[in-house]
Structure 1
Amino acid sequence: MARVVRFHRLGGPEVLQIETVNVPPPARGEVQIRVKALGLNRAEALLRAGTYIETATFPSGLGLEAAGTVEVVGEDVTGVMPGEAVSIVPPVSMVRWPAYGELATFPAELVVKHPSELGFEAAAAAWMQYLTAFGALVDIAGLGRGEAVVITAASSSVGLAAIQIANRIGARPIAVTRSSIKRRSLLDVGAADVIASTEQDIRSRLQDTAGSDGVRVVFDAVGGPAFEPLTAAMTPGGILIEYGGLSPEPTPFPLFHVLSKSLILRGYLVHEILRDPARLARAKAFILDGLSDGTLKPIIARTFPFEEIVEAHRFLESNTQFGKIVVTI
């Protein structure tokens, strides 16, 4: 028996319940871990609310990131042993393999022995953010040394991961955030410049900071009216990678800029990296190297105990955090 988080209806954070259930042993090719820490993601709030790309089946578990120790290994599993410290590459389906619980089971290929110096909290906060940012900036856009990259929602965990990855490869990250409140913090974590979108003109500021040639790569989680000034500041042949939709306002199609500059507007989900073994292997190698040498370091906004999972989700939806929210068990 183990405590898990489940919900029996769609709704706000209050629908989450901690329940004691029988957790079956791992099947062939699976690994069961005793969870020490969970990393929270907006996708989990969307699943809970019924607005995610995956549909909950009640009672539904949830959760995409965990770190802990190996409890039991299923048949045909090699490479990990009971007692070893591991973390989880996010599964494609959190309904099938939910992470929120004292015991959680995952496919063996998603179980990673992370650097021992990382610790469970940081390990639980690492994989989703770095895989998402790496897949966009390196795997798809081919961001190179010396290039500028615009990163919106820059104080989110993925935004901060993108700043760190850009710096690791020698690129120049330009952070876009709503107000100047987080400006100093973003500069401290490696942003080359910070644009406050509600206080400054994005297009003119990008032209000032990126130069007359414009920006080739934009990594956007917001959409909405900012599409027009972002694309206006892009270089011919540039690529805008959209991985979210945080803006409540409609997103206009910037037809003139797309046509005149031959821009690429590309939707992106981290699942395309997770489903491709070769691309995932390259991403894991880059991330593990960065975690080992310290160029990639998860930034944790706040830690909650397991018993306060509802409060943790409320904080997740407050949009006030700087970095990742972690829950410890």
Structure 2
Amino acid sequence: MPRSVVFDTVGGPEVLTVRPVPLPEPGPGELRVRVAAIGLNRAEALFRSGLYLEQPKLPSTLGYEASGTVEALGEGVTGFAVGDAVDVIPAFSQTDYGTYGTHVVVPASATVHHPAGLTPAQGAAIWMPYLTAYGALAEDGHLRAGDHVLITAAASGVGLAAIRTARRLGAIPIATTRTAAKQRHLLDAGAAHVVVTGEEDLVSSVLDATGGRGVRTAFDPVAGPGVLTLARVITPGGRLIVYGRLDPADTPLPGQDTFVSVLSRFYSMHEVTHDPARLRRAHAFVTAGLADGSFTPAIDRVFEGLDAVVDAHRHLESGAQIGKIVLTVID
């Protein structure tokens, strides 16, 4: 019997329950996917907690990413066939769709063919990180070959993808992490330099690593007052791109204390996934990187079975992971 992860009230991981559900039928423009693996994202923990940009319509399911097999096509769907291996990407609202289940209905526009050579767990781990990094660092052409880019909280799935994306663009990534425990992993992923912020001064370390010039781009998921420190290492005319809000405090306007010209913006990966033309470019960029070995899925841990979802979300919120957390579906 099909099963789905559902929550009736917002809260911690313990609110998630696994329940039998009727087999969903796809409507116009939709697919039904038999899920093999689910990629977990911090946005889902925030959604479950009632702290996301959108509030869940209770009872609610959740989830942005999955890998599996097409089981049924809705009216008007082209480009897919029953039996195709596919990946679901974050191109919808969690108030409308979710991927935490054995059988899920999703928009065909949020589905791509599964790249050859990847396991289902890898397919569920690749898209959110690399689409996020692509849109921020590659799409508008601001980051150029030879530029330094500062990537904060770099041991996350997006951070690791940003390191590899910067390298593929010919840029020089400088990564930050709070403790030295993750330093070696970041260097192995391609970081030219790693700043351990719990032990080193960020500003002096970045300036030393760049010969005093600073970085052209800073890519940050933290926000909050710390952006003022980041602005001190961005060259005049450079760019601060904030793509998350791990610090819930207000985020000030960088440059107001020094009047240094720093262009700052809040960025969402949905800028890419909700625009068909941009998504086509992003898909081509990521699949090319997978094909030539520049890109690889970074998986921290795989939890087995939907019934492990609570433990998986606890690990997601621990902050201990390096890369992506994946939940396989065994039913």
TM-score interval, smaller chain? over 0.9
Match of 2:324 in 1: 324
Distance 2:254 2:274 in 1: 31
SS in 1 for 2:318: coil
Distance 1:14 1:224 in 2: 28
Distance 1:236 1:257 in 2: 14
* More divergent stretch after superposition (203-212 vs 88-97): 88-97
Residue deviations 1:1-21, cap 9 Å, x none?
Answer: 410001000000000000001
Match of 2:160 in 1: 160
Shift of 1:249: 5.1
1:278 equivalent in alignment to 2:281? no
Distance 1:241 1:68 in 2: 33
Structure 1 residues 203-282: aligned runs within 5 Å: 203-247=203-247, 251-256=251-256, 259=259, 261-282=260-281
Shift of 1:247: 2.6
Match of 1:84 in 2: 84
Structure 1 residues 110-129: aligned runs within 5 Å: 110-129=110-129
Distance 2:155 2:316 in 1: 13
Distance 2:225 2:25 in 1: 49
CA contact (8 A) 2:65 2:128 kept: yes
CA contact (8 A) 1:242 1:266 kept: yes
SS in 2 for 1:104: strand
* More divergent stretch after superposition (192-201 vs 44-53): 192-201
Residue deviations 1:229-248, cap 9 Å, x none?
Answer: 21111111011000112135
**How large is the Cα RMSD of the aligned pairs?**
1.4
Match of 1:299 in 2: 298
Percent sequence identity over aligned pairs: 50
Match of 1:99 in 2: 99
The residue type equivalent to 2:16 in the other structure is L
Consecutive unaligned residues in structure 1, runs of 5 or more: none
SS in 2 for 1:187: helix
Match of 1:174 in 2: 174
TM-score normalised to structure 2 length: 0.96
Consecutive unaligned residues in structure 2, runs of 5 or more: none
* More divergent stretch after superposition (104-113 vs 35-44): 104-113
TM-score normalised to structure 1 length: 0.96
The residue type equivalent to 2:328 in the other structure is T
Provide closer, same or farther for how the CA distance between residues 258 and 36 of structure 1 changes in structure 2, counting only shifts above 3 A: farther
SS in 1 for 2:139: helix
Distance 1:197 1:149 in 2: 16
Shift of 1:256: 3.9
Shift of 1:31: 0.8
SS in 1 for 2:54: coil
* More divergent stretch after superposition (214-223 vs 33-42): 214-223
CA contact (8 A) 2:2 2:21 kept: yes
